[in-house]
């Protein structure tokens, strides 16, 4: 099994440009998460989906960040416009059910560099 698939793995853009990240969760996992990981820090939750519904997006900076999960499978995270401080690794994860076992399956991450 491929696990959680993310693309692109690396992205370099200039500030004020838009960027989008894509995530394909493990088949059958109805809960999907986007985490942000700054250098030297642990991951921080941006948004959590149960099927196609965003059930927790309190940490998502909604002025420039948006996310969607159409049809309850793949998800896209967008930043527009990007700022220098957005340089980080964006991690997608999925779990079966509500994640109450605590086991999230993470993708390899998308590393964003904003110049």
Q: Residues interacting with another protein, by CB under 8 A?
A: 3-4, 31, 33, 40-45, 48, 56, 91, 95, 98-109
Q: Quickly count: other Cβ atoms within 10 Å of residue 51's Cβ.
A: 12
Q: Is 39 exposed, middle or buried (0-12, 13-18, 19+ CB in 10 A)?
A: exposed
Looking at beta carbons only, is 70 or 100 nearer to another protein?
100
Smallest gap from residue 102 Cβ to another protein (A): 5
Looking at beta carbons only, is 13 or 73 nearer to another protein?
73
């Amino acid at each position: 099994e491929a696990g959680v698939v993310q693309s692109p793995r690396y992205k370099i853009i200039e500030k004020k440009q838009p960027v989008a990240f894509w995530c394909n969760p493990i088949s059958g996992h109805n809960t999907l998460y986007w985490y942000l990981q700054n250098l030297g820090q642990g991951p921080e939750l941006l948004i959590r989906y149960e099927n196609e519904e965003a059930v927790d997006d309190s940490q998502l900076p909604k002025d420039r960040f948006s996310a969607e999960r159409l049809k309850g499978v793949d998800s896209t995270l967008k930043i527009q416009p990007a700022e220098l401080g957005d340089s980080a690794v964006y991690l997608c994860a999925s779990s079966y059910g509500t994640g109450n076992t605590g086991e999230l399956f993470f993708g390899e991450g998308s590393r964003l560099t904003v110049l």
